[in-house]
Amino acid sequence: MIEIRIHGRGGQGVVVASKVLAMGFFVEGKYVQSFPFFGAERQGAPVAAFVRADDKKIHLRCKIYNPDYLIVLDQNLPFEINLTEGLKKGGIVIINSTKEPGRYNISSDFKVFTVDAGSVASKYGIGTKELPIVNTAILGAFCRITNLVNINSLKKAIKEFAPLKKKENAEAAIEIYNSINNV
């Protein structure tokens, strides 16, 4: 079973990201489960959502404590929370950021990738220029880096769950997917 934790702030689309990613796995015939961290959500406050995917039926019904992957929508969040808490050794961290991975001082037990999903989302007019919504674009990076979900499956998933600008969201994810070579 694969377990993924998605971090962001209220308003950044963490829950939609978890739904889209779950749908991507579902399109490929997997059993999936996605759910938000249950609590009061406020604009700007740290929030999280979870995704499980497996070849067989998923019985676990609790939060994810030991994820294999982390997806982070906000570049400053890693400085504010204990981001890698419970992350499995060798786990992969994908951060939407203009910074180099080394700037985050994350333990060498984990592999860190940074992708500038913000500029790509901004280019496609997703969200506002000041606050682009990167929740779908960064999933393009997830597909490329992990090879767990085909980009075409992700495209279908975005069409299903992106609330607005489905085409632009899909194109942004594909552009990010194609831009990453150093995996």
Shortest Å, Cβ 171 to other proteins: 23
- Does 58 participate in binding other proteins (rule CB under 8 A)? yes
- Does 60 participate in binding other proteins (rule CB under 8 A)? yes
**C-beta separation of 150 from 130 below 8 A:** no
Shortest Å, Cβ 148 to other proteins: 17
Among the candidate windows 23-31, 111-119, 138-146, 147-155, which touches other proteins by CB under 8 A?
23-31
Position among 14, 32, 126, 154 found at the interface with other proteins (CB under 8 A): 32
In angstroms, how far is the first alpha carbon of the chain from the final one? 22
**What does the alpha-carbon distance between residue 130 and residue 56 come to, in Å, rounded to a whole number?**
42
Shortest Å, Cβ 23 to other proteins: 6
Query: Hey, what's the torsion of the CAs at 8, 165, 24, 38, to 10 degrees?
Result: 40
- Does 23 participate in binding other proteins (rule CB under 8 A)? yes
For 39, the 3-state DSSP assignment is: coil
Would you tell me which residues interact with other proteins (CB under 8 A)?
A: 18-19, 22-23, 26, 31-36, 38, 57-63, 65
